[in-house]
Amino acid sequence: MTTRKVVPCETTPGLAKACPPTGPVRPPRAGISILEVIACTMIVAVMMVPIAGVMRSSSQAIARAQGDGSIESQGRRSLRWLADQIRMNPHTQVVSGGRALRITTLAGRTALVRISRSQLVMDDGIATTVLAESASAFRATELKSTATGNPVVGLELQLDIRDPATRVTKSAAMTVAF
């Protein structure tokens, strides 16, 4: 190992001063090297793999939870709307062995509520209203009073909806009193 010799320089007579070393001097670094870039990229990639896995699994869990809730809520909303229609039009009959309802309005129009092509629909001859998608079964049961000679006092409605993604069937039920 060789060392440089510091030779005193004289700038003014009588004062000794250290002169800068002579010979080749390295310029200061002006940036980062390609090796540093590659090393940082590898460190970030190794850290991102587990983070991406956690984010993916949590987003799948959220989507599954929202899908389950939306299927059930779709069934409840459909039955709630149907119950409101029945309450407004008390001339309702259960037909087709409980698989359909015939609602007769006060104006005399008749609508049929049934399953058609995996949809719960209300068809009044003029327009078809889709009440629920992916419906697999619909049942209506008359509730009769034994005290007053068996008149119908209400309906019990049940709707089964199949989630297209998971193939799980969810049920919604509602009782409508006249």
Q: What is the pLDDT of residue 114?
A: 92
Higher pLDDT, 127 or 21: 127
Tens of pLDDT, residue by residue over 107-131, are 788 889 999 888 999 998 888 989 9
Q: What is the pLDDT of residue 115?
A: 92
**What distance in Å separates the CA atoms of residue 104 and residue 120, rounded to the nearest whole number?**
18
Q: Residue 150 region, left (φ>0) first, then alpha (ψ -120 to 50), else beta?
A: left
**What distance in Å separates the CA atoms of residue 33 and residue 29, rounded to the nearest whole number?**
10
Q: What is the pLDDT of residue 25?
A: 66
Query: In the chain, which ranges are E strands?
Result: 8-9, 17-18, 91-95, 100-104, 110-116, 119-123, 128-133, 135-144, 152-162, 169-177
Pairing of strands 119-123, 91-95: unpaired
* Residue boundaries of the structural domains of the chain: 48-177
177 touches 153 (CB < 8 A):
yes
Q: What is the pLDDT of residue 151?
A: 78
- Please say if the pLDDT value at position 4 is more than 60: no
Tens of pLDDT, residue by residue over 143-153, are 887 776 667 78
132 touches 140 (CB < 8 A):
no
Q: Residue 23 region, left (φ>0) first, then alpha (ψ -120 to 50), else beta?
A: left
pTM above 0.85, yes or no: no
Give the max Cα distance, the chain. Answer: 133
